[in-house]
Structure 1
Amino acid sequence: MNQITKEVSNAIRVLREKVPLVHNITNYVTVNDCANALLAIGASPIMADDIAEAADISGISSALVLNIGTLNQRTVASMLAAGKRANELGIPVVFDPVGAGASKLRNDATREILEQVSLTVLRGNISEVSFVAGLAASTKGVDASEADGGNDAVTVAKAVAEKLGCTAAVTGAVDVIADGKRVAQIRNGHPMLSRVTGTGCMTSSLVGAYAGALRDGFTAAVAGIASMGIAGELAYEAAGQTGTGSFHIAIIDALSRLNPVLLEERAKLDEI
């Protein structure tokens, strides 16, 4: 067992001991899934997106997750207020720039957040993270575009980590995580995960849970992404043949069953 697998195995033990409170300003398509994923992994979710309380809730939380999946101008202000309060208190911030590159509103909101909030982890697909890196990107709605498949995920992740001074995670068939010093690859997951809405959003929330427990962006990103990948594999084994609805529920079941031993046995992690 390599070092990064040991770190991830320990991470879920620490998370379950600490039960971090994770503040999510996320999209209304997947908010319920994100809350259930956090409960399943052993964290405590809170979803508060009104400007009147966003900063206050961040101030009592262990981590903040910002997700622009169903973006509107009202929540941009809440995200900025929550992010600034988290920064003031040293609380980890995870940002999921869903659909960055697809519209002016998303592009402007992404730039505002990056300019005004210091991130612990940025997680997205190759198109979204390429946009953040300043590379050519042709986002297909909220999904990665095949046209961006030529962008090397390791290069993109390293560029964003250096540009923002945070951990950058590019999720795909092979996930890549970089923080300026270390680079990890994850080969867990199942293609069926792409047929259920919200698996990316849930992954970002899981990263937030680990970040809140560990205060280590790199290990949190690896642990959160690996947890979703392994949960996808377990869900397919349990319910994949039944259909996407059963598979969807089985993801939550699998997350609730994860433990240090399962992570050690199933994690496909390497540092490069």
Structure 2
Amino acid sequence: MNKQQIVSALNKVREEKPLVVNITNFVVMNNTANALLAVGASPIMSHSKQEMAEMMSFAGALVINIGTLDSVWRPGMFFAVEQANENNKPVVLDPVGCGATKLRTSTARQLAELADNLIIRGNASEIIAMAGEKSQNKGVDALDASEAALSAARALVDGYACSVVVSGEIDYIVTKESTIALSNGHEMMPYVTGMGCSLSAVTGAFAAIGEKSGVAAAAVFSIAGEIAAEKSQGPGSLQMNLLDSLYQITAEDIESRLNLRECQQTS
């Protein structure tokens, strides 16, 4: 994907304002809803099975974030994925804390197995654990470098016929056709809770308009984070400035800042 295609995808999100259904965690609901609004999409936080069939009939995409799993939400997540499948809508899965507990790991894998049209967005440790390899994590925090997750990401691509976005100092976007390295963003971003969750939500917005690789969302979000960090004195102001940057990001910002390269595919 080149700069012009990323700009075109952003313009399409802003024009179409796709509705993105989010089953997400209590910690980040506000963050992710505002990130979607800032980029030009329309968020709805819907957790009820009673309305999910109707919701997925007219929504553009479904984002599932397992950050605060419980016995009520878990079956609702599976039902929502079934409804997304029924309506041929993309599903973005954020396997928060996968590898930290058996419940999170098994839930993430079962949701991925169920989804027909899937993008997985996680940190390196989550992606490694989801693929069944040994990861290093501390709760929901990654201790593995993003490049260490490349073989795991490719295994998930093959196993679930999906795209995988690995977030880290360098973001890697792995699809069946390519592996993209994205070197934008800022070292301050991991100090704001919900940054990855917000990227997952924004990935849903781009998937809803047909950009299902994950590249455009990661590029726009990381460049916005880079711009925001330049104006911020710490994590508190970064959180505020990120929303402004997502709202204000221009084609010129993308064209001048994008640091993207295609990696050699390995078996």
- Which residue pairs with 1:217 in the alignment? 212
Q: Which amino acid aligns with 1:217?
A: K
C-alpha deviations, 1:148-202, integer Å up to 9, x for none?
3496333222221111101011110111111111111100010110110010000
1:257 aligns with 2:255: no
Unaligned runs of 5+ in 1: none
C-alpha deviations, 1:68-89, integer Å up to 9, x for none?
0111121111111111111111
* Count of aligned residue pairs for this structure pair: 263
Q: Which amino acid aligns with 2:89?
A: I
Q: Is the 8 A contact 1:20 1:212 kept in 2?
A: yes
- Which residue pairs with 2:29 in the alignment? 31
CA separation in 2, counterparts of 1:206 and 1:115? 22
Aligned-CA RMSD value:
1.5
- Which residue pairs with 1:172 in the alignment? 168
Corresponding residue to 1:230 among 218, 223, 226: 223
State the 1:263 CA deviation. Answer: 1.3
CA separation in 1, counterparts of 2:237 and 2:251? 25
Q: Which amino acid aligns with 2:155?
A: A
Corresponding residue to 2:259 among 244, 253, 268: 268
Unaligned runs of 5+ in 2: none
- Which residue pairs with 2:159 in the alignment? 163
Q: Secondary structure at the match of 2:154?
A: helix
State the 1:6 CA deviation. Answer: 2.2
Query: Which structure has the highest helix share of the two?
Result: 1
CA separation in 2, counterparts of 1:201 and 1:184? 20
Q: Secondary structure at the match of 1:191?
A: coil
Q: Is the 8 A contact 1:189 1:229 kept in 2?
A: yes
CA separation in 1, counterparts of 2:183 and 2:33? 25
Corresponding residue to 1:83 among 43, 62, 81: 81
TM-score between the two structures when normalised by the length of structure 1: 0.92
State the 1:51 CA deviation. Answer: 1.9
Q: Is the 8 A contact 1:13 1:259 kept in 2?
A: no
Structure 1 residues 156, 6: CA separation in 2 closer, same or farther (over 3 Å shift)? farther
- Which residue pairs with 2:109 in the alignment? 111
Q: Secondary structure at the match of 2:2?
A: helix
Corresponding residue to 2:118 among 108, 117, 120: 120
- Which residue pairs with 1:5 in the alignment? 3
- Which residue pairs with 2:53 in the alignment? 55
Q: Which amino acid aligns with 1:13?
A: N
Corresponding residue to 2:202 among 200, 206, 210: 206
Q: Is the 8 A contact 1:169 1:178 kept in 2?
A: yes
The alignment-based identity, stated in percent, is 40
Q: Secondary structure at the match of 1:122?
A: strand
State the 1:26 CA deviation. Answer: 0.4
CA separation in 2, counterparts of 1:149 and 1:248? 23
Q: Which amino acid aligns with 2:239?
A: H
CA separation in 2, counterparts of 1:150 and 1:206? 20
Q: Is the 8 A contact 1:125 1:144 kept in 2?
A: yes
State the 1:119 CA deviation. Answer: 4.1
Q: Which amino acid aligns with 2:257?
A: R
Runs of 4+ in 1 over 6 A off after TM superposition: none
CA separation in 2, counterparts of 1:115 and 1:154? 20
TM-score between the two structures when normalised by the length of structure 2: 0.94
Q: Which amino acid aligns with 2:235?
A: T
